[in-house]
Amino acid sequence: MLNQQTLIKLLQYVFGYAPVKLDEIATIVRGGNFQKKDFVDNGRPCIHYGQMYTHFGIYADKTLTFVNEDVFAKSKIAKPGDIVMAVTSENVEDVCSCTAWMGNEDIAISGHTAIISHNQNAKYLSYYFHSAMFFDQKKKLAHGTKVIEVTPSKLGDIEIMLPTIEEQERIVAILDRFDSLCNDIAVGLPAEIEARQKQYEYYRDKLLSFE
CA dihedral defined by 84, 161, 121, 97, rounded to 10 degrees? Answer: -20
Domain residues of the chain, as ranges? 4-209
- What DSSP character marks residue 49? T
Q: Which residues of 162-200 are buried (b: 16+ CB within 10 A; e: fewer)?
A: bbbeebbeebbeebeebbeeeeeeeeeeeeeeeebeeeb
Residue 2: per-residue pLDDT: 44
Residue 1: per-residue pLDDT: 44
Output Rg (C-alpha) for the chain, integer angstroms.
18
30 within 8 A of 156, measured Cβ to Cβ: no
Residue 13: per-residue pLDDT: 46
3-state secondary structure of 97: coil
In a 13 Å sphere around the CA of 42, the CA atoms on its Cβ side amount to 0
Residue 204: per-residue pLDDT: 78
CATH code of the region 4-209: 3.90.220.20
Residue 4: per-residue pLDDT: 54
Q: Give the residue ranges of the chain where pLDDT is below 70.
A: 1-16, 181-193, 210-211
In a 13 Å sphere around the CA of 7, the CA atoms on its Cβ side amount to 9
CA distances from 204 to 101, 122, 141 (A): 20, 16, 23
Residue 159: per-residue pLDDT: 95
101 within 8 A of 46, measured Cβ to Cβ: no
